[in-house]
Amino acid sequence: MKTLTKELPATSRKQKLKKLLFSPKLAPYTFVLPFILAFVIFFVYPIISTITMSFQNINIATSEYVGLENYSKLDNPKFYAALSNSARFTFWTIVILIPFPLITAVFLNSKLTYLKNLFKSALFLPALTSVVVGGIIFRIIFSDMEEGFLNSLIMSIGIPAQEWKMQSNTAMLLMVLLASWRWMGVNILYFLAGLQSIPKEIYESAEIDGANAFQKFIKITLPFLKPVSIYVLTVTIYSGFSMFTESYVFWRNGSPNDIGLTIVGYLFDEGFSYGNLGMGSAIGMTLLAIVLIVNLIQLKFFGLFRKED
């Protein structure tokens, strides 16, 4: 009898534990717990830590609260050069990486286009290629030497050789071309996915009403692609302001007169090259604020915060 009375509580506890683990109320929290932990550890904590560090002067073993001193140091020509380069780069990538992929996707989605899969694969291939490899190819093409590939071509038609990586306008051209080469195929896939979700019956009805190809593009395709276009614009703005690798592959040790310096490049120099983590954190928080404000403005402009009827 004594053995039975001892086993009963133990059995009861196991049943309660089993019931708790398999409870329908607890199960959802159990499944989402890994995501919540990963989100807190790798997203929330770094952001809070970066905000804190941006108000500190951090040395190897000590840290000192300095208020807004790191942010006040951003009032310097180097930061303004980085901000200008990032803003110009973002503008040109928006000009190229939204309309051209959209038009290309329309042609690839047409039933009159042959070898669609071949073109899709060829256009997406650069996105799978390392930016270092792409940078080496671009450095060979745009070599500053007269024997360089592009300099040889323009010299053959009477144009003098250019120092592509030494001038502000040509330097921006190199970075924009490299980014466009990498991301054109990705944006084409976004627009292709949007195009294939448009009901074909709408185009057939428009054809019956006598609409031509241009009218169908303006009246049907563009309105239906608005959500995809806004997403691509949001991603392009973020990618433009956070660009670093396109600049780094051309000027690893710094560009002349900061013509290739971007905000993230400036952050990298201050935070890692000079070990000034407080200043680097202030630059990072400023970049976050800029991207957030620009994207909120464009989302407001396109009516994303408007209540649906």
Euclidean distance between CA atoms 264 and 288, whole angstroms? 11
Question: How would you write the pLDDT of the chain (309 residues) with one tens digit per residue?
Answer: 445 455 556 667 777 777 776 777 777 888 889 999 999 999 999 999 999 999 999 876 788 899 899 999 999 999 999 999 999 999 999 999 999 999 999 999 888 888 888 888 888 888 888 888 888 888 888 888 888 888 888 888 888 888 888 888 899 999 999 999 999 999 999 999 999 999 989 988 998 988 888 899 999 999 999 999 999 999 999 999 999 988 888 887 778 888 989 999 999 999 888 888 999 999 999 999 999 999 999 888 887 777 665
The Cα 57–Cα 108 span in angstroms is 54
Burial string for 29-60 (b: 16+ CB within 10 Å, else e) reads eeeeeeeeeeeeeeeeeeeeebeebbbbbbee
pLDDT of residue 279: 93
Q: In which residue are the tokens 């941006």 written? A: 54
pLDDT of residue 59: 74
Q: How high is the pLDDT of residue 285?
A: 95
Pair 191, 228: CB distance under 8 Å: yes
Find the distance separating the first CA and the last CA of the chain, reported in whole Å.
72
Contact 264, 272 (CB under 8 A): no
Q: Which domains does the chain have, with CATH numbers?
A: 15-66 (no CATH), 71-302 (1.10.3720.10)
